[in-house]
């Protein structure tokens, strides 16, 4: 009896597994996400008991993007308090002098220096007794959260622990994040930035989770909620409240996990997941059943060294608004109409044309469709909005709608290239897994433009990220910078880190993990950046070095096997068992009449009649030839002329041309 709930910018998706059957649902997102989560859960489960609640949330992401986090103070080693402003020499846009870096999340007056230098000796040069002035200055500044990131905190956490002890003793209600616990790795700027992010998000995230627990308790839902990590696993709600930086990509991760599981079931070696919702599109490359994981990325300009599925996000969704720039060009997004007021066709007060309006005007979404089962669409309002948009550049509503789709698909094509071509992976070897409410409407156009192997539209496509929560295991990630240039202590350090990951996992879950996966960040001596490769204890230095040379060649087009290598950071992933596996799903059985007649759809070649189908009525083995529209409760798939969709035994649509 496990319920997965994933909250997006427009809709909240739900998937409920009772051990024998899967039920799915969709509802509009609410300003306070916990309201939509609980309301949707009550509606879907109809009051039946729920044993576990799994949650993918965008609270941390939205807090950062909207700059609504806590007033945060930073305690750093004296002389290094401005590292978050100095940053690196790289620029957000190399040739655009008008693009600035994101403003630091800690104001100058809230940065404090501690007179300390870490040593590896038992004798410390820092005492609680000489922290009085620092604590007094902090108290006078009245921050809402504190980040502590000392120069060598990753190597010796004693001073960070001491400073936190002093702050908590004097200011017990003030949340404190220390870098050695948030991200115990070298590179002072990135480590400090991640610690600041965590402190900045902690009060907002913890308040949200408390509200969710309270509302869930009133509704009879379990209080022991698990929250999705950016890395594709689940953490308990207490950890999520203390480590919100680990949930910055909580929302997209569930769909990536589900895509990997589906790819393994269907026998695909390389996939690109493509999640198009109401606000954004998220894409991620998946190799041999394992999503690409990034250990260093920037989110809205702020470096974050928490492990995360390597999702590339663009502001292109069903709610993305069309507009005309000062040069007279038609643009789409990144601004979204959201759930309220939503696209013009929602009849909630929105007057601007969005991508959903364009699909409705072109017949790809039927005027009788109710999005999420509850939102009726008004075609007349969509046409009026498109007329207003097109009038600015001399286009009719049909041409404006086609133009919007061409522009938004160009954005999404670039996103797929970013996780494939730009990373040395050939998209022609990959299939595109299309999900989200709008994914199936645009998938074939994107895949054909990149000459991809095909498109897979999974079952439950409209709520696939919520379904992915049910397939996601509990997980704990641990990392330690080691700077090894030989294999002399490699396995000793690997065993120590793995033990640490297992102990923390057991403390969070009350049981041991199913497996522990190990990763090493390796580089050629003198390089500035590392390549992450898998490792198993006992394999030895030569095996690790050989694997690194091969990975470096794949990613960068060359390798230097004769050069010495260095292991910079070791990582351990303690992973448990998910609520369910793909193979536990019951055999797909069609229900209802498949054929729904025909209607006119418009492509760049003009209007054509298209067959309309109800997906739930399509039996395995059935082939649909485009032009066609395949509708389901939470999503729609469009097939252009010459495109063929075959229903697999899993219920997925496998599309070719």
Give the start-to-end residue ranges of the domains of the chain: 72-174, 254-316+409-468, 320-407, 475-577, 599-656
Residue 334 preceded by cis peptide, ω within 30: yes
Return the pLDDT at 20. 87
Say if residues 37 and 76 touch (Cβ distance below 8 Å): no
Q: Environment class of residue 421 by beta-carbon count within 10 Å: exposed (0-12), middle (13-18) or buried (19+)?
A: middle
Joined together, the tokens standing for residue 405 give 């789709």
Q: Which residue has the higher pLDDT, 249 or 339?
A: 249
Highest mean pLDDT of the ranges 21-35, 45-59, 480-494: 480-494
Q: What is the pLDDT at residue 171? A: 95
For residue 626, what pLDDT band results from cuts at 50, 70 and 90?
confident
Residue 93 to residues 102, 121, 294, Cα–Cα distance (Å): 12, 44, 21
- Terminal CA-to-CA distance of the chain, rounded, Å? 40
* Cα angle 454-578-34, degrees, rounded to a multiple of 5: 90
Per residue in 346-398, pLDDT (tens digit) is 999 989 999 999 999 999 999 888 876 678 899 999 999 999 999 999 999 99
Asked if the model's pLDDT at residue 339 lies above 80, the reply is no
Quickly state the pLDDT bin for 121 (edges 50, 70, 90).
low
Gap between the Cα atoms of 614 and 617, Å rounded:
6
CA distances from 595 to 230, 272, 460 (A): 40, 30, 19
Are the C-beta atoms of residues 405 and 355 closer than 8 Å to each other? yes
Q: What are phi and psi of 233, to 5 degrees?
A: -135, 180
In the chain, the largest separation of any two C-alpha atoms, in whole Å, equals: 81
Instruction: DSSP for 327-382, please give it.
Output: TS-EEEEEEE-TTTT-SGGG-SS--S-BHHHHHHHTTSS-TT-EETTTEE--HHHH
Block residue for tokens 């996601």:
472
The 8-class DSSP code of residue 291 comes to: E
The residues with which 178 forms a beta bridge, in sequence order, are 148
| Averaged pLDDT of the chain | 92
Q: What is the pLDDT of residues 134-161, one digit of tens each?
A: 999 999 999 999 999 999 999 889 999 9
Condensed to tens digits (0 to 9), the pLDDT of residues 269-320 reads 899 999 998 888 999 999 888 888 888 888 888 999 999 998 988 888 899 9
Least confident residue range of 79-83, 278-282, 568-572, 638-642? 278-282
Q: Is the pLDDT of residue 123 over 90?
A: no
Q: Give me the phi and psi of 69, to 5 degrees please.
A: -80, -175
Q: Hey, what are 319's tokens?
A: 């709610």
pLDDT at 128: 67
- 4 beta partners: 15, 54
| Contacts (Cβ under 8 Å, ≥6 apart) of 618 | 590, 594, 624, 630, 647
Q: Is 125's pLDDT higher than 70?
A: no
For the record, the structure tokens of 322 come out as 């069309």
User: Which pLDDT does position 566 carry in this prediction?
Assistant: 97
* 475-577: CATH topology: Dna Ligase; domain 1 (3.30.1490)
CATH of 254-316+409-468, one of 3.30.2350.10, 3.10.400.10, 3.30.420.40, 3.30.70.890: 3.30.420.40
- Structure confidence by residue, pLDDT tens digits, 439-469: 999 999 999 999 999 999 999 999 999 999 9
Q: Which residue has the tokens 């990753």?
A: 154
- 361-374: pLDDT as tens digits: 999 999 888 876 67
For residue 483, name the pLDDT band (cuts at 50, 70, 90): very high
447 backbone dihedrals φ, ψ, rounded to 5°? -65, -40
Distance CA 493, CA 482 (A): 8
- The whole-angstrom separation of Cα 29 and Cα 36 is 6
Q: Taking a C-beta distance cutoff of 8 angstroms, is the pair 286, 271 a contact?
A: yes
């Amino acid at each position: 009896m496990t319920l997965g709930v994933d909250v997006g910018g427009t809709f909240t998706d739900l998937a409920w597994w009772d051990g024998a059957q899967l039920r799915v649902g969709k509802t509009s997102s609410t300003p306070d996400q916990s309201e939509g989560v609980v309301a949707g859960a009550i509606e879907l489960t109809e009051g039946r008991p729920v044993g576990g609640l799994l949650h993918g949330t965008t609270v941390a992401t939205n807090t950062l993007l909207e700059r609504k986090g806590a007033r945060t103070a930073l305690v750093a080693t004296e002389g290094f308090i401005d590292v978050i402003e100095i940053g690196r020499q790289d620029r957000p846009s190399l040739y655009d002098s008008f693009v600035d870096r994101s403003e630091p999340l800690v104001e100058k007056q809230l940065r404090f220096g501690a007179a300390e230098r870490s040593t590896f000796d038992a004798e410390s040069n820092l005492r609680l007794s000489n922290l009085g002035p620092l604590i007094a200055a902090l108290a006078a500044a009245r921050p809402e959260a504190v980040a502590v990131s000392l120069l060598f905190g990753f190597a010796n956490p004693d001073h960070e622990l001491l400073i936190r002890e002093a702050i908590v003793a004097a200011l017990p209600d003030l949340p404190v994040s220390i870098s050695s616990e948030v991200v115990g790795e070298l590179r002072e700027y990135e480590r400090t930035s991640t610690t600041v992010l965590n402190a900045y998000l902690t009060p907002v995230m913890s308040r949200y989770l408390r509200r969710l627990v309270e509302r869930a308790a009133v509704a009879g839902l379990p209080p022991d909620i698990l929250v999705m990590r950016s890395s594709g696993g689940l953490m308990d709600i207490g950890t999520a409240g203390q480590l919100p930086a680990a949930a910055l990509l909580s929302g997209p991760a569930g769909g990536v996990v589900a895509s990997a599981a589906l790819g393994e079931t269907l026998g695909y070696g390389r996939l690109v997941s493509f999640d198009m919702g109401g606000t954004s599109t998220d894409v991620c490359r998946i190799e041999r059943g394992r999503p690409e994981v990034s250990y260093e990325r920037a989110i809205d300009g702020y470096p974050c060294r928490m492990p995360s599925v390597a999702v590339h996000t663009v502001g292109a969704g069903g709610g993305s608004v069309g507009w005309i720039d000062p040069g007279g060009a038609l643009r789409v997004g990144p601004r979204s109409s959201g759930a309220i007021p939503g696209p013009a066709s929602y009849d909630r007060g929105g007057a601007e044309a969005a991508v959903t309006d364009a699909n409705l005007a072109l017949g790809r979404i039927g005027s009788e469709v109710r999005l999420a089962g509850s939102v009726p669409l008004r075609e007349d309002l969509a046409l009026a909005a498109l007329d207003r948009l097109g009038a600015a550049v001399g286009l009719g509503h049909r041409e404006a709608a086609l133009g919007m789709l061409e522009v938004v698909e160009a954005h999404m094509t670039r996103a797929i290239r970013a996780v494939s071509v730009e990373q040395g992976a050939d998209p022609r070897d990959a299939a595109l897994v299309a999900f989200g409410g709008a994914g199936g409407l645009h998938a074939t156009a994107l895949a054909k433009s990149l000459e991809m192997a095909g498109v897979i539209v999974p079952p439950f496509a409209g709520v696939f990220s919520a379904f992915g929560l049910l397939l996601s295991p509990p997980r704990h990630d641990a990392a330690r910078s080691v700077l090894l240039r030989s294999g002399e202590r490699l396995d000793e350090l690997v065993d120590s880190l793995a033990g640490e990951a297992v102990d923390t996992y057991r403390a969070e879950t009350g049981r041991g993990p199913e497996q522990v996966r190990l990763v090493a960040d390796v580089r050629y001596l003198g390089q500035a950046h590392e390549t992450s490769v898998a490792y198993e204890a006992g394999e030895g230095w030569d095996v690790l070095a050989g694997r690194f040379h091969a990975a470096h060649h794949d990613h960068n087009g060359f390798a230097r096997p004769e050069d010495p290598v260095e292991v910079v950071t070791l990582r351990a992933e303690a992973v448990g068992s998910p609520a369910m596996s793909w193979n536990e799903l019951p055999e797909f059985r069609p229900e209802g009449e498949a054929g729904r007649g025909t209607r006119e759809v418009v492509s760049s070649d003009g209007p054509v009649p298209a067959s309309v189908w109800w997906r739930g009525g399509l039996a395995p083995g059935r082939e649909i030839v485009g032009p066609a529209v395949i509708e389901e409760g939470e999503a729609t798939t469009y097939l252009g002329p010459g495109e063929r969709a075959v229903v697999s035994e899993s219920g997925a649509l496998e599309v070719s041309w």
